[in-house]
Amino acid sequence: MTAHLLSGAPESATDRTVVGENLSLPLFRTLSGVLAGHQYLKVVVDRAEDTWHLLDTAAHPFHVNYVATRVLGMELAALDADLDAFNASVYTDPGRRFLLGVLSLHAEQDAEGRERPFLVLETTEADTMHGDLLAWFYEYVRLRVDGRLPLLLKPANHGQEEELAAISEQRVPRILSHELFGTRNRTPLNSGEATGRLRFFRTHQEYAAAEAGLGWADIVAMPCLPDDVPRVAGFLNTAPITPLSHTNVLASGWGIPNAIVRDLEQLVERDALDGAWVRYQVREDEISLERLDHEPVLRAPSWHQQRIRLEPPLLEDTPVLALHRLRGTDRGRYGTKAANLGELHHVLDSRTADLTAFHRQPRPPRDNLCGHLAARLGLKEPTGEELRAAAARFVASTVGAPAGVALPFALQQNFLASSPPLQQGIGKLKMALELDATDALDALCLQLQHLIRHTPVPESVTRQINQAFPAAAAPGGRLVVRSSSNAEDLPGFSAAGVYDSVTTVHGTEELLDAVRQVWASLVSPRSVRLRHQVGISLDDTYMGVIIQEYVPASLGGVLVTCNPTRDQDFRNVYLNCSPGSPEQVVDGSVLPQQYLYNTVEGGGRTVALGSWGEPLSAATRARLADLSLTGRLLQSHFSGPASGGADVDKPLDIEWLMTEQGDFRLVQIRPYAL
């Protein structure tokens, strides 16, 4: 049995493109391809010739190539040489000759449960059609489509949504993107494939009862996987989640398939998949589950032999420092998170960092994206130096870095060394790890955590933490205490959500408790097991601590400077947000609003409204577009040579908040695992 949940586009050796004919459902099916489970057809309206072209999808994957070569008689080389100008002529020129769109086929159930097909018309994401042109486009297509098929217009971006707001729905019936796709049954989250045993759990109680028996060859399926799920072969969610959840970040970092399949329970019951061996594949346009007739012979995954070696930390003469005094090179003393926040202070204060490296990369057939960046920054023909200076000014005017202090690894080591019982507990845990006595790990970890949380802090260590308190908060203020380990954000080991943060801390006593809780999270059963699986020695693992003043937020969230569901998309960044703190987005306590923002041509799209009933205001969404471009610009610095990186295309994972005054603060910057 193979359950093809989504399927790819068919191949065709002939060009069946039709010009000037009315569109029936059979003709649509003949010409269409399939993307994300829906048949679609590209259309080109030629206003000068008063006709339209229905493109054979297999023969013409790109509107622009068809218009240039088949209608205008251009050579592809000439198009490539001036591609951005040509795109502007068909996507942004208000007096354009050609209108480019896509028709997709969908279905809804009527009152009797019968499927009722309908078509949706949309333009491309970079299209800036004004309201009257959108209405004209819809009406032109409506006249040429079989009248028995309902036709709705889907605005392709926030700008088109705002333009349509002034036009009645009687004239232009419409559907928004989150309305069309927010309830779809199948959504790829992380591409990959796995062969393993499907373990289906309807409730968290069922999962908890079986968790201890889960192994590396299992594929775990349930409504929403817990953040502390062990390392397994694959994930399947039967309820909506965001691609930026902790579990999907783990799936990405572990390189395992993950998807949302809402009707999985029906498939499991129909084909007796629970406990069966399956081949599970997730691609951008396909999800498949193939039941195997027998238990396969599987090799242990490569991470069983993986050995990650950490750079030795620098422990001597390391003081408590304000975050703004750190640089990226301080990760060996304070951890990656603290060092990155210090580097952010440097970028915002110095205004000398080159934040244009991503846009200077060749994007064939384009030499680079500098012209697009200049347009976004309001520059006409800047020099390279002027573009770099404008990018630095834009970032500094858009976001701020949090104030706070960083506690070094050395402080944790001094605390651990002060207590013989702690040293004995650490020794027992090391011995269990050396002997691979996994059955004893959880109990030893929990005992050691209890000791860390309740062992008195030496006066010398207490003094340094207390000295940090006034530097981190106003008298009586609330603090946030975050982890900053050297055993995270590593190639092959992201540790997203593995270590603790404490978000409500008042006074020095609570601060000491919070610091010890963060230190203790370094030896939690889960963190120890995950590190042991990839060969990270407990001897090499250290925990720094970040102490920040709590900043009240009206909005908080996470953005990643990529499209996590489409690896080849260099334009868009993915942004999630919810009222209040960013933690709500990553811990799954609410389903956030989800947006895609184009950081090349501009514009944004609403992917899902999540737990909210209403979208953000147009003004707030415009501010989030600025934040998204800022994230892309920071990627040039944090993923490039300036911060020890080698690939400016490596995306960042940024936690942010919007203050009650409307300012943005970035509270965490880390690599995003792809």
pLDDT at 290 over 90: yes
- pLDDT value of position 302: 73
Q: Is the pLDDT of residue 12 over 60?
A: no
Q: Where are the domains of the chain?
A: 2-175, 186-300, 341-402+552-671, 405-546
pLDDT for residue 10 is more than 60: no
- For residues 109-117, average pLDDT: 79
Task: Please name the residue that has the structure tokens 């605005």.
Answer: 155
Residue predicted with more confidence, 444 or 673: 444
pLDDT digits (tens, 9 = 90+) for 59-92: 999 999 999 999 999 999 999 999 999 999 999 9
> pLDDT tens across 321-379, in order?
999 999 999 999 999 999 999 999 999 998 788 999 999 999 999 999 999 999 999 99
Exposure string over 508-532, b if 16+ CB within 10 A, otherwise e = eeebbbbbbbbbbbbbbbbbbbbbb
> Which comes out higher in pLDDT, residue 508 or 210?
210
Q: What is the CATH number of domain 186-300?
A: 3.50.30.10
Of residues 554 and 496, the one with the higher pLDDT is 554
Pick the CATH number of 341-402+552-671 from 3.30.9.10, 3.30.43.10, 3.30.470.20, 3.40.50.2300: 3.30.470.20
**What is the predicted pLDDT for the residue at 177?**
85
pLDDT at position 2 over 70: no
Instruction: Please give the Cα distance from 180 to 173 (Å, whole number).
Output: 13
- pLDDT-based confidence at residue 307 (cuts at 50, 70, 90): confident
pTM: 0.88
Q: Is the pLDDT of residue 6 over 60?
A: no
Confidence band for 36, pLDDT divided at 50, 70 and 90: low
Q: Flag the least confident range among 6-10, 169-173, 447-451, 575-579.
A: 6-10
Provide the pLDDT for residue 615. Answer: 86
Lowest mean pLDDT among 26-30, 305-309, 576-580: 305-309
Nearest in space to 527 (alpha carbons), one of 516, 512, 544, 541: 541
User: What's residue 171's pLDDT?
Assistant: 97
Q: Quick one: fold of 405-546?
A: Dna Ligase; domain 1 (3.30.1490)
The confidence band for 3, taking pLDDT boundaries of 50, 70 and 90, is very low
pLDDT at 13 over 50: yes
Q: What DSSP string describes 10-76?
A: PP-SS---EESPPBPHHHHHHH-EEETTEEEEEEEEETTTTEEEE--TTT-S-HHHHIIIIIS---H
pLDDT class for 413, splitting at 50, 70, 90?
very high
Q: What angle do CA 250, 254, 258 make, to 5 degrees?
A: 65
pLDDT of residue 525: 94
